Amino acid sequence: MNISTLLNERLILPNLTATTKQHVMEEVVKHLAEVQTGINAQELLKALLEREKLGSTGIGNGIAIPHGKLAGLSDIILVFARSTGGVPFEAIDGKPIHLIFLLVAPASSTGGHLKALARLSRLLKNDEFRHALLSAPTAADIMKTIAGEDSRIAV
């Protein structure tokens, strides 16, 4: 599974304004609901916050991968958001997060979202890739960076 097939420029937020974990989730979910028809923002936010209660999706190295399932979806959706200032997110390393990949899967999804999570984790191990995401000036540049890394790393 290639991450770049789950994402498009409209689903990239290069300049988050939120400064708390709760507000990050709200801002990203609101943007997704505005861009993607059929997304119930309140339902999705509830699912994401319930998942966070199990443990933070802040995986360290400035990265968070909040994820959840939503009824009514037919495909997995990915949203990328960036906070240049960083946001406290209860990450496992205790550091603020800058790169957020929000993954939403259909309620009936069994393995697809796990494959997407594994793929994201694999791509994000690369320090240069993470730095490139932090420094890419526009949503188009971020998309090119993701697509380039996605094609470079074998599936």
The pLDDT tens digits for 100-146 are: 999 999 988 878 888 988 899 999 999 999 999 999 999 999 999 99
pLDDT above 80 (res 154)? no
Q: Compute the distance between CA of residue 103 and CA of residue 150 in angstroms, rounded to an integer.
A: 16
Domain tally, the chain: 1
CATH of the domain at 145: 3.40.930.10
State which residues form the domain around 21.
3-152
pLDDT above 70 (res 52)? yes
Looking at the chain, the number of H-run helices and the number of E-run strands are: 5, 6
Q: For residues 76-97, give the mean pLDDT.
A: 95
The dihedrals phi and psi of 79, each to the nearest 5 degrees, come to -125, 135
Q: How confident is the model at residue 84 (pLDDT cuts 50, 70, 90)?
A: very high
Catalytic residues: 67
